Structure 1
Amino acid sequence: MSYKQFIHWWQKYLPLILVRVAVRAVVIICLTVGVLGILGSTASMSNAQLVSTTKGIQDKQTPLKSTALNATVYHSPDCNCCGGWIDHLKAQGFQITDFFTPDIETVKQKYNVPDNLSSCHTAIVNGYVIEGHVPADDIKRLLQEKPNVAGLSVPQMPVGTPGMEMGDRKDPFSVLSFDSKGSVAVFNEYPSS
């Protein structure tokens, strides 16, 4: 392999390698948070119930005019925070089709999720891409307003988003909209509490 071929190969495949490493890191973080949550729990597992300690995001419910709330969610079978987000959507009236995949990166590429907006799971709701821990209220607003965007994202995994609850701690975060041309805009903002 010549030096020019090597440089061309490196430029072509480095972004893909970095994305795969980042996705694996996200999965490891999800697993770690889930295990720490289980280990830190004082409730016995036989009597455990899902109890939300955060207020605001999960308690709001936007009525939706006769739009079916169906979500197809793709995530790693090892990710616990994805299950917390799915439970949040179910509590808000969404019907979930849950797909486990060991190659979430391929799903993100298929639905053109920008690398800088990626998170641990990808969902499709009425043709829109929903990336990460987007609150159900924002998805309902998206379905009602029907803007010309590809979808919504909460990049990474901010503490306090649905599925990423850690006691009373809530990090500030933004829900971002994105389109197929690479434009990104703030759809909603949540300050820290």
Structure 2
Amino acid sequence: MNQYTLRRLLMAAALAVPGTALATAATVHKTPTCGCCDFYVEYLEAQGFDVDVVDHDSMVPLFREAGIDRTMASCHTTEVGPYTVIGHMPVEVIEQLLEERPMIRGITLPGMPTGSPGMPGEKQEPFTVYRITADAEDPEVYGRF
């Protein structure tokens, strides 16, 4: 078992016990030069998440390995419990995901929408968030927020 798998298992176990400190743990994978990713990390921390940051030379191999099409990708990805959260996802959506615990791999907010956490400007319309399913081929809408 590699370190990535072990960490995800430990975080999932912590989420099963209400009130544990790890319940708000997150790992953000990003490139070292991405300013909006840094703003997103600050946003998560301000919302009470304990954030670890892992810098990569490129996010392309991570998305390719996960089977995420570039149209569903963003500039960073976050591990929260057993889920992968891609993009500038609002905390309320992450909390809903953790509360509902759907049998999916995660969720994605593709691109870098204006007004999303870590991005400048005012939100123009509801964000369409997609499910990351086992095959990750056909995007399914998780919700609009």
TM-superposed CA distance for 1:127, in Å, is 2.0
SS of the equivalent of 2:41 reads: helix
Deviations 1:2-51 (A, max 9, x none): xxxxxxxxxxxxxxxxxxxxxxxxxxxxxxxxxxxxxxxxxxxxxxxxxx
Q: Following superposition, which runs of at least 4 residues in structure 1 exceed 4 angstroms of deviation?
A: none
Q: Does 1:97 align with 2:55?
A: no
Structure 1 segments unaligned to the other structure (5+ residues) = 1-64
| 1:84 aligned residue | 39
* Equivalences, count: 124
Q: Does 1:170 align with 2:123?
A: yes
TM-superposed CA distance for 1:115, in Å, is 2.5
| 2:7 aligned residue | none
TM-superposed CA distance for 1:112, in Å, is 2.8
| 1:70 aligned residue | 25
TM-score, normalised to structure 1, is 0.60
Rate the CA distance shift 1:184–1:66 in 2: closer, same or farther, 3 A: farther
**Aligned equivalents of 1:127, 1:139: Cα separation in 2:** 12
Q: Is contact 1:119–1:154 with CA below 8 Å preserved after alignment?
A: yes
Deviations 1:70-118 (A, max 9, x none): 1111111111101111111111111111011112111222333232210
TM-score, normalised to structure 2, is 0.78
SS of the equivalent of 1:180 reads: coil
Q: Is contact 1:112–1:180 with CA below 8 Å preserved after alignment?
A: no
SS of the equivalent of 2:39 reads: helix
Aligned-pair Cα RMSD in Å:
1.6
Bigger radius of gyration among the two:
1
Q: Between the two proteins, what is the percent identity of the paired residues?
A: 32
Choose between structure 1 and 2: higher helix proportion: 1
